[in-house]
């Protein structure tokens, strides 16, 4: 990053900050090189001019997806862009063709679903939003198109998401290429399942990460010639072997040691293991456990992972035995022996661990001891055995431990590769490299030195690739770049690996000398590299040194370099383990001639590391590289937290800032001519007004500004570092002057407006004051008048109030008296009415009860008799039905008996009517008697009342003393007589009630018995009807058995009865409306029952063998198949082929046979016609035929064994049992004996009638349904393919020409709109052509409507997803263009009518609402409720959030919705983050079949196949004469 220029007062800049890395602010003072900045958080910062970088205030609010598009490509600009995008959940960002992926620490399933894969499949790199799928797609396309292997380098520290990124890469590659074998687990699944095993044996805790990979992993995904994944291999590099023996606090050794120490008790007892603190290789650090990790559970999980990758139980046992042996081996200590420079086992504890190591490795303990403390030297004269001192013995012990662990890790990798399976014939691979990143800790040792050396190598490869991409860009634009210097780190690599003077070479040299120490090694480095600018000697240390890496300066402590670098290959160790009794251990150490020939050979880890690294670089150099840099946003591993300092450090270690430095060395700022003129056209308005082309206009502006060193390519302007800031500064001056001019005019306008408003206010104030005084005078006069009026009204009120009080009291008194009188009268009338009602109900109940008893008794009697007769007849019929030889005689007898039964039932019906009449007469008599009795009771009551009244009057008129006693006696006698008469009437009434109750009970019993009898009679009538049908079938069997019995039996055993032409003439015809049966309640006279029976053609030879019949059937089938394979066209809008197939199958009774081949041949014919033709017209023709045929089958076939009667046998509910029986018996005898003939037996054969379908027919229907769906899908998909390229042209609006920047945009917009409408017109033309084609082939409107509904849904999905994935599409102008195109589709829907378009227009609701949001004005004033409820109710909150953040106004420069609305949307998204469905902002294209067979049956009209004329080829054949029945 070069020092900025043109920083002036008022400039917005970035300054360094200790907490936030970089913070923005505004310059308010400049003193020479000293800059005073007021930051956004209110602080004042004083810094040097060289440490200040300009800020782009015109950067998009949502950031840019490719950081090469940044106006200022520097560290704070990159950090701010990443932070802005991360805040919007945009975790991927490009830097050229490098992908930066920030770990979101939350699930974002919508970014990785199948639909997202489909979007990126074949898309141009950079066209859609940045994504890991885009990198994988580019690698795959280059491999397929160019045949060159590719590699994807995934780097980043632990927790940055490398494993998840690798997983997504393999998922996408599997999606693109598929798999050559689908059995079992997929290749990518097996690779991912191996991760737990490799992590257990290759990962360890470091200072910064709890699960850091201490090896490099290169996954080779192999592809066959067709581009399908055929295998995979895992190559491991640079395992940190020294960690087995030496670790520093607070790090840990490899996980497997701790897992084994946490194993179940029986396992620990078996291996004699204890806590990790008891082993030397583990207790060098005080860290034994990891937060949140249970080693016991991890042990079990590792064992399960081993099972998954195919490691057997025996092998697992051997693996952990070796791991335990390494732990025990580390606890073997040595002390000085009796001899000089000799050593022995220190104590019994060490002896125990020695024996345990030997036991676990299954070797001899004495041999193991000798291998550790003795060396054999072979000379030409003799073999010398010497002992090692304790220090050398410890080195021998550690060398053995490292060798065993290294071989064990290599064996695991080889085993995993064998489990996955490799393709030896694979010519192309895509490699995914996952390797540790740059490390810089407080204390850095030999491990960090090797790791950083690896990253320097990879960084050089990365720099070369970046510079190569820069060169390609410059060459493509045809600009001169020869003077640009390449930023290289070769000097650092020479410092480390150069021979003979590199650090590694000096380290190996020091290790070969026994007397060398770390101090002598450090002094050697100081002397050798004292003049190297990359090597730094610390002032206060004698054993440390620093190297200036690409990511910064790293200080190394050389104290342990010599010990960690030694890696002897000892022949005694090889011989010891080769002689082991454990086959697994022997397999880890195969015999080598080279090693057996020498006693020992020096080998260093540094040299081995260097050679493996060279092998890795050769592999990468042979492939086309692609880079993904994974970044961990925070150390607390939580979402929505971005630690700027942490991000900057990772960008430096990942080489991203180094790539930016390379870009800054050339032309960091690149702008297209349009963007450059749009931004800097104000610097030279006269250039824009001239008739220059864009390139010349840019040239003139740059020349006017006096810039040097820039380049103008074919389509872009290339600016050197700092030139963009200079242009912006001058542009700011021009805009500032323009702003001051605008402010002057605005201030003048405001001052004049204020004066006019002040003058108007004074006039208004005067008029108001005058009005106030006038109103006061008026108010005084009004109050005086009001006082007089109030007095008058009050006096009137008091007088009226007293009058009303008196009047109200009188009315209340009158009301109470009248109410009392009315209640008395009402009570009397109510009692009178109730008495009358009770009497009426009692009399009615008595009469009704008597009637019901009589009726029930009559019905019970009738039902009993009829049941008895019916059972007798039924028994006789059953007995007669069993006699097969007397079927004809049974029929005649049955007819007579049925007629007799009918006659008897009619007689019973008349008897029942007579009985009902008698019962009615009797009920009438009873009613009359009851009425007379009631009259007598009423007369007696009236007479008693009169007598009582007369007695009362007589008592009143008579003298009180003289005639008192005689009158009382006389009245008492009269009363007694009347009471006796009343009592007798009451007794008679009770008697009548009891009789009525008994009659009611008898009537209820009779009704119950009558109901049972009626039910039994109905059952009998139904059985009689069934027997009648049985008679018809038996008659048919009798007539057929005379001539066809043998033929039909052979056909049933062979194939299916296809030759219906051989049937005899006497076949029972099913009853239809034409032959006299009652259908839907209508009957036809006997004159209408005639059938059009042509002259019967007798079979030429009834005695021909079965072969001739089958040959005739085969010929007819062949002719039918030959005919339908041609385009037969349509007759009256009905497809001829479908109607002819249906009529033939129905006539041949193919639906009712158990075995036949005609269905398969028809399906094969349709299949060949559809698959051989890619013509849409052919597909539409067969879509019409299959849909029509399927409709006919749906309405004809029924499953075998259905209990419901066919439509021809259904009777109306109004027809009685006797009516149905009589009509069945009175059917014309001529119609009952008409033959079902070969050619023209029936005039209504083509009427739809249901038949019981067998399995072949039902299977044929299913196959036909499948073909209908396939043809429908082909038509739909072909139309999608046709319009898909046009949609890609429609979504991106053409840009405005530069004249539009000055002269207005109307003309440019008109031209662009015409170009866009041209693409939309092509889509409309495609829709019209498809509609005409389907109309011409009479495709049912229901299917046409479904096709266009799904097509419009596809248009909606494509346009909407493109809008959300491409930021340049989310602009105001683009919304206007798309809205114009949607109007064309709406017009097409109106012209196509609702019959064919249906609800297609409603399918565009997402894109319509999204476009409506883009073109609406004053977005910042819209609330979230208005947006979600009124403007875009269909869009989800994720979709609205993405559109709102991606929107940019390229026409008026307005802003998107307010920040408050954005914040509310973000909160709602966070609350709904658990829903994986709702979190997806993309739409899915529904490619399913949107209808069923029932939908087709309900939507299509009835097809009349009777008037369809067969083709000439069929008409000339006598075997198809039945097709001509209607015409003849």
1016 labeled part of a ligand binding site: no
- Cis bond upstream, residue 500 (ω within 30): yes
How far apart, in whole angstroms, are the C-alpha atoms of residue 1456 and residue 919?
A: 93
- Candidate list 439, 470, 658, 726, residue with the active-site label: 439
- Torsions phi, psi for 282 (to 5 deg): -110, -30
158 labeled part of a ligand binding site: yes
**Reduced to 3 states, what is the DSSP secondary structure of residue 29?**
strand
Residue 439 annotated to the active site:
yes
Beta-bridged to residue 98, according to DSSP, are 95
Beta 150-155 vs 624-631: how paired, if at all? parallel
- Candidate list 71, 203, 213, 463, residue with the active-site label: 213
156 labeled part of a ligand binding site: yes
How far apart, in whole angstroms, are the C-alpha atoms of residue 1180 and residue 1177?
A: 5
- Candidate list 77, 177, 437, 666, residue with the active-site label: 437
Between the alpha carbon of residue 197 and those of residues 166, 167, 822, 1025, the distances in Å are 17, 16, 105, 79
- Candidate list 159, 655, 1241, 1381, residue with the active-site label: 159
Q: If we measure between CA atoms, which residue out of 1306, 1286, 1295, 1427 comes closest to residue 1358?
A: 1286
Contact 1407, 1326 (CB under 8 A): no
- Cis bond upstream, residue 250 (ω within 30): yes
Residue 212 annotated to the active site:
yes
Alpha helix ranges (H) inside 551-655: 561-565, 571-578, 583-588, 593-597, 605-621, 644-653
How far apart, in whole angstroms, are the C-alpha atoms of residue 1084 and residue 1092?
A: 16
Query: What secondary structure does DSSP assign to 848-912, as a single string?
Result: HHHHHHHHHHHHHHHHHHHHHHHHHHHHHHHHHHT-GGGHHHHHHHHHHHHHHHHHHHHHHHHHH
How far apart, in whole angstroms, are the C-alpha atoms of residue 1367 and residue 64?
A: 9
How far apart, in whole angstroms, are the C-alpha atoms of residue 679 and residue 387?
A: 82
- Candidate list 209, 463, 1330, 1428, residue with the active-site label: 209
Q: Which residues contact 649 (CB under 8 A, 6 or more apart)?
A: none
> Long-range contacts made by residues 335-343, C-beta under 8 angstroms, separation at least 24?
335/390, 336/389, 336/390, 337/387, 339/387, 341/387, 341/388, 341/389, 342/373, 342/387, 342/388, 342/389, 343/373, 343/387, 343/388, 343/389, 343/390, 343/392, 343/393
Q: Which residues contact 990 (CB under 8 A, 6 or more apart)?
A: none
654 labeled part of a ligand binding site: no
How big, in percent rounded to 5, are the helix, strand and coil portions of the chain? 60, 10, 30
1474 labeled part of a ligand binding site: no
- Candidate list 165, 194, 212, 1330, residue with the active-site label: 212
Residue 646 annotated to the active site:
no
530: Cα separation from own chain's centroid: 64
- Candidate list 129, 163, 426, 1077, residue with the active-site label: 163
Residue 159 annotated to the active site:
yes
Q: If we measure between CA atoms, which residue out of 747, 767, 766, 744 comes closest to residue 755?
A: 747
How far apart, in whole angstroms, are the C-alpha atoms of residue 272 and residue 327?
A: 10
How far apart, in whole angstroms, are the C-alpha atoms of residue 1048 and residue 1041?
A: 9
Residue 1041 annotated to the active site:
no
DSSP state of 1126: S
- Torsions phi, psi for 760 (to 5 deg): -65, -30
How far apart, in whole angstroms, are the C-alpha atoms of residue 501 and residue 530?
A: 13
1523: Cα separation from own chain's centroid: 51
Beta-bridged to residue 511, according to DSSP, are none
Reading the block at residue 361, the tokens are 């490795």
Rounded-to-10 torsion of CA 823, 825, 826, 829: 160
Report the phi/psi class of residue 519: left, alpha or beta, with left for phi > 0 and alpha for psi in -120 to 50. alpha
**Reduced to 3 states, what is the DSSP secondary structure of residue 126?**
coil
Residue 625, judged by CB atoms within 10 A of its CB (0-12, 13-18, 19+), counts as buried
Count of CB atoms situated within 10 Å of the CB of 1223? 16
Beta 229-237 vs 1130-1131: how paired, if at all? unpaired
Q: Which residues contact 233 (CB under 8 A, 6 or more apart)?
A: 219, 220, 222, 417, 420, 422
Residue 213 annotated to the active site:
yes
- Candidate list 158, 396, 1231, 1371, residue with the active-site label: 158
Binding residues for ATP: 156-163
Summarize the annotated binding site as residue ranges: 156-163
- Which active-site residues does the annotation give? 158-159, 163, 209, 212-213, 437, 439
């Amino acid at each position: 990053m070069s020092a900025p220029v043109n920083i002036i007062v008022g400039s917005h800049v970035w300054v360094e900050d200790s907490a936030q890395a970089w913070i923005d602010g505004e310059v308010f003072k400049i003193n020479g090189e000293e800059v005073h900045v007021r930051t956004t958080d209110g602080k004042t910062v004083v810094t040097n001019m060289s440490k200040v970088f300009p800020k782009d205030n015109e950067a998009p609010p949502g950031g840019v997806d490719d950081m090469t598009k940044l106006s200022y490509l520097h560290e704070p600009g990159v950090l701010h862009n990443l932070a802005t995008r991360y805040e919007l959940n945009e975790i991927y960002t490009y830097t050229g063709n490098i992908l930066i992926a920030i770990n979101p620490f939350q699930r974002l399933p919508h970014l990785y679903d199948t639909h997202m894969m489909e979007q990126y499949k074949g898309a141009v790199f950079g066209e859609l939003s940045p994504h890991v799928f885009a990198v994988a797609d580019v690698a795959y396309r280059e491999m397929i198109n160019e045949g060159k292997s590719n590699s994807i380098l995934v780097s980043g520290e632990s927790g940055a998401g490398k494993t998840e990124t690798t997983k997504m890469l393999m998922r996408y590659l599997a999606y693109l290429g598929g798999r050559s074998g689908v059995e079992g687990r997929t290749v990518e699944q097996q690779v991912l399942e191996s991760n737990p095993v490799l992590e257990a044996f290759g990962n360890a805790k470091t200072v910064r990460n709890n699960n850091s990979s201490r090896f490099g992993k290169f996954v080779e995904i192999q592809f066959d010639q067709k581009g399908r994944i055929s295998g995979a291999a895992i190559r491991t590099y640079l395992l940190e072997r020294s960690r087995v023996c030496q670790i520093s606090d607070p790090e840990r050794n490899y996980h497997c040691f701790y897992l084994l120490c946490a194993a179940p008790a029986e396992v620990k007892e078996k291996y004699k293991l204890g806590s990790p603190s008891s082993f030397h290789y583990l207790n060098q650090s005080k860290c034994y456990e990891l937060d949140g990790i249970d080693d016991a559970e991890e042990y079990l999980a590792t064992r399960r992972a081993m099972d998954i990758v195919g490691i057997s139980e025996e092998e697992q046992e051997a693996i952990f035995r070796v791991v335990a042996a390494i732990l025990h081996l580390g606890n073997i200590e040595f002390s000085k022996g009796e001899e000089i420079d000799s050593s022995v086992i220190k104590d019994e504890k060490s002896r125990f661990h020695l024996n345990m190591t030997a036991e676990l490795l299954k070797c001899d303990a004495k041999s193991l001891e000798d291998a550790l403390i003795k060396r054999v030297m072979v000379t030409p004269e003799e073999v010398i055995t010497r002992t090692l001192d304790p220090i050398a013995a410890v080195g021998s012990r550690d060398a053995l431990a490292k060798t065993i662990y290294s071989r064990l890790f290599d064996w695991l990798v080889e085993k995993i590769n064998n489990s996955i399976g490799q393709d030896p014939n694979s010519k192309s691979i895509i490699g995914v490299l996952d390797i540790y990143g740059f490390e810089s800790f407080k204390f850095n040792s030999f491990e960090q030195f090797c790791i950083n050396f690896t990253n320097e190598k990879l960084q050089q490869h990365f720099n070369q690739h970046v510079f190569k991409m820069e060169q390609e860009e410059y060459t493509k634009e045809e600009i001169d770049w020869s003077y640009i210097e390449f930023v290289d780190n070769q000097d650092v690599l020479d410092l480390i690996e150069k021979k003979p003077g590199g650090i590694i070479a000096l380290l190996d040299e020091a290790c070969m000398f026994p007397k060398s120490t770390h101090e002598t090694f450090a002094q050697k480095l100081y002397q050798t590299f004292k003049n190297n600018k990359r090597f730094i000697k610390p002032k206060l240390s004698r054993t440390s040194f620093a190297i200036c890496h690409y990511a910064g300066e790293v200080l190394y402590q050389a104290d342990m370099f010599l010990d960690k670098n030694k890696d002897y290959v000892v022949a005694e160790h090889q011989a010891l383990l080769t002689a082991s009794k454990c086959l697994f251990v022997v397999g880890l150490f195969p015999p080598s001639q080279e090693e057996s020939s020498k006693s020992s050979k020096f080998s260093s880890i540094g040299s081995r590391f260097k050679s493996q690294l060279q092998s890795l670089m050769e592999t990468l150099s042979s492939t086309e590289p692609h880079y993904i840099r994974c970044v961990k946003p925070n150390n607390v591993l939580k979402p929505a937290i971005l630690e700027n300092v942490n991000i900057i450090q990772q960008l430096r270690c990942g080489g991203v800032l180094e790539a930016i430095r390379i870009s800054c060395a050339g032309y960091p700022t690149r702008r297209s001519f349009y963007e450059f003129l749009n931004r800097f056209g104000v610097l030279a308005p006269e250039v824009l007004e001239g008739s220059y082309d864009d390139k010349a206009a840019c040239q003139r502006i740059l020349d006017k500004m006096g810039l040097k060193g820039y380049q103008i390519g074919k389509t872009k302007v290339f600016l050197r570092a700092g030139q963009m800031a200079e242009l912006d500064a001058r542009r700011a001056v021009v805009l500032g002057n323009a702003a001051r001019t605008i402010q002057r005019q605005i201030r003048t306008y405001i001052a004049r407006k204020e004066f006019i408003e002040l003058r108007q206010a004074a006039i208004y104030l005067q008029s108001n004051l005058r009005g106030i005084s006038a109103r006061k005078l008026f108010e005084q006069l009004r109050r005086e008048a009001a006082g007089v009026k109030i007095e008058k009204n009050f006096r009137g009120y008091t007088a009226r109030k007293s009058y009303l009080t008196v009047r109200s009291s009188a009315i209340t008194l009158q009301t109470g008296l009248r109410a009392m009188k009315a209640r008395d009268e009402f009570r009397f009338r109510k009692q009178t009415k109730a008495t009358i009602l009770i009497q009426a109900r009692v009399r009615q109940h008595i009469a009704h009860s008597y009637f019901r008893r009589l009726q029930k008794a009559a019905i019970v009697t009738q039902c009993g008799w009829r049941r008895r007769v019916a059972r007798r007849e039924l028994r006789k019929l059953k007995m007669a039905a069993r006699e097969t030889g007397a079927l004809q005689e049974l029929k005649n007898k049955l007819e007579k008996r049925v007629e007799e039964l009918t006659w008897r039932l009619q007689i019973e019906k008349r008897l029942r009517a007579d009985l009902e009449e008698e019962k009615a007469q009797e009920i009438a008599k009873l009613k009359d008697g009851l009425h007379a009795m009631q009259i007598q009771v009423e007369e007696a009551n009236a007479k008693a009342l009169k007598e009582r009244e007369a007695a009362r009057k007589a008592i009143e008129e008579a003298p009180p003393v003289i005639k008192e006693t005689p009158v009382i006696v006389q009245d008492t006698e009269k009363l007694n007589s009347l009471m006796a008469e009343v009592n007798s009437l009451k007794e008679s009434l009770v008697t009548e009630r009891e009789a009525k109750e008994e009659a009611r009970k008898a009537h209820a019993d009779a009704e119950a018995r009558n109901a049972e009898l009626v039910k039994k009679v109905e059952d009998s009538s139904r059985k009689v009807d069934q027997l009648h049908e049985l008679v018809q079938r038996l008659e048919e069997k009798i007539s057929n058995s005379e001539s066809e019995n043998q033929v039909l039996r052979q056909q049933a055993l062979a194939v299916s009865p296809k030759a219906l032409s051989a049937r005899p003439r006497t076949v029972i015809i099913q009853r239809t409306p034409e032959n006299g049966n009652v259908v839907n309640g209508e009957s036809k006279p006997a004159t209408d029952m005639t059938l059009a029976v042509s002259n019967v053609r007798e079979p030429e030879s009834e005695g021909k063998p079965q072969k001739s019949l089958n040959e005739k059937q085969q010929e007819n089938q062949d002719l039918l198949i030959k005919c339908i394979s041609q385009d037969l066209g349509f007759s009256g809008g009905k497809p001829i082929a479908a109607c002819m197939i249906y009529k033939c199958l129905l006539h041949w009774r193919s639906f009712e046979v158990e075995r036949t081949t005609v269905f398969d041949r028809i399906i094969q014919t349709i299949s060949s016609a559809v698959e051989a033709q890619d013509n849409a017209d052919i597909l539409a023709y067969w879509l019409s035929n299959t849909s029509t045929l399927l409709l006919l089958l749906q309405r004809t076939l029924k499953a075998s064994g259905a209990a419901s009667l066919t439509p021809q046998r259904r009777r109306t509910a109004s027809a009685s049992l006797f009516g149905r029986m009589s009509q069945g018996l009175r059917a014309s005898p001529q119609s009952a004996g008409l033959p079902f003939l070969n050619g023209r037996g029936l005039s209504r054969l083509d009427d739809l009638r249901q038949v019981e379908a067998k399995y072949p027919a039902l299977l044929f229907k299913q196959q036909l349904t499948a073909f209908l769906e396939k043809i429908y899908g082909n038509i739909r998909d072909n139309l999608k393919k046709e319009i898909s390229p046009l949609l890609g042209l429609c979504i991106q609006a053409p840009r405005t020409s530069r004249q539009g920047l000055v002269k207005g945009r109307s003309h440019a917009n008109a031209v662009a709109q015409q170009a866009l409408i041209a693409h939309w017109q092509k889509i409309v033309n495609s829709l019209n052509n498809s509609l005409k084609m389907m109309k011409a082939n009479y495709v049912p409107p229901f299917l046409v409507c479904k096709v266009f509904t799904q097509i419009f849904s596809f248009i909606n999905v494509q346009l909407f997803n493109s809008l959300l994935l491409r930021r340049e599409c989310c602009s105001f102008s683009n919304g206007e263009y798309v809205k114009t195109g949607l109007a064309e589709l709406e017009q097409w829907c109106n012209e196509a009518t609702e019959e064919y378009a249906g609800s297609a227009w409603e399918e565009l609701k997402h894109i319509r609402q999204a476009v409506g949001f883009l073109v609406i004005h004053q977005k910042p004033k819209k609330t979230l409720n208005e947006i979600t409820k009124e403007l875009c109710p269909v869009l989800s909150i994720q979709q609205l959030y993405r559109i709102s953040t991606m929107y940019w106004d390229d026409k008026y420069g307005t802003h998107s919705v307010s920040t408050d609305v954005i914040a509310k949307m973000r909160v709602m998204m966070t609350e709904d983050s658990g829903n994986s469905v709702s979190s997806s902002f993309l739409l899915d294209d529904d490619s399913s079949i949107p209808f069923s067979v029932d939908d087709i049956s309900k939507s299509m009209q009835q097809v009349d196949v009777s008037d369809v004329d067969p083709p000439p080829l069929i008409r000339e054949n006598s075997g198809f004469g039945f097709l001509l029945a209607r015409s003849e």
